[in-house]
Amino acid sequence: MIALPEVYAEWVLSDLRATLITRFSDLSSAGVTLPAPTEMADLLSAALPVPTAELDPHFADLAPFYNSDGASRQLGNITKQAVDSRRRSGTILAMQTGDGTWLYPAWQFTGNGKIHAALVPALRSLRGMDRWQAGVWLVSAHPDLDGLSPRQALSDGADPEQIAALATADRAASAA
């Protein structure tokens, strides 16, 4: 069920409130001067994925996305060059839009400066495949995973090497 933005924001705020109070208390106790509330709101907002205009419904399960700046922040504020290197090496999933913008599915990030480690073997196995197609493969139900998507299976604790082997086999089959 998709909630109205106002309702969704209230759900998030409700879950986030206790964490913010604890974190702000810890920062204050450590002698950190907290920025003005509007500045803090801007900092927190910067961590949100970016909207993608007119995303083909075929790719909706890949969203939401971060742009390159957001991916850099999610990876611990690494440089743009480091993000590009990760993209080229296949250790991060990125798709390029028609206007040249790189988009990074938000679900691959752990929230603490990393990519979910279980995902990396599959990403490497999908190198050479169209990035949009690779993303769709990761989020689509797979018959060898009892109808789960590889992403879901990995979240449920599936063996990353098993998922990587499926990715390799499916990539080879799609290229044939």
Based on the domain organization, do 39 and 58 belong to the same domain? Answer: no
Pick from 48, 40, 42, 45: nearest CA to 21:
40
Based on the domain organization, do 91 and 14 belong to the same domain? Answer: no
Based on the domain organization, do 107 and 159 belong to the same domain? Answer: yes
Based on the domain organization, do 141 and 157 belong to the same domain? Answer: yes
Mean pLDDT for each consecutive 10-residue tract of the chain (176 residues)? 70 81 88 85 69 67 88 92 92 91 92 91 93 94 95 96 96 86
Based on the domain organization, do 11 and 25 belong to the same domain? Answer: yes
Based on the domain organization, do 7 and 88 belong to the same domain? Answer: no
Based on the domain organization, do 36 and 72 belong to the same domain? Answer: no
What does the pLDDT read at residue 121? 96
Based on the domain organization, do 40 and 56 belong to the same domain? Answer: no
What does the pLDDT read at residue 111? 82
Query: For residue 132, what are the CA distances in angstroms to 15, 40, 60, 91, 139?
Result: 32, 34, 11, 15, 11
Based on the domain organization, do 18 and 59 belong to the same domain? Answer: no
Range of the domain at 92: 50-175
Please count the structural domains in the chain.
2
Based on the domain organization, do 67 and 29 belong to the same domain? Answer: no
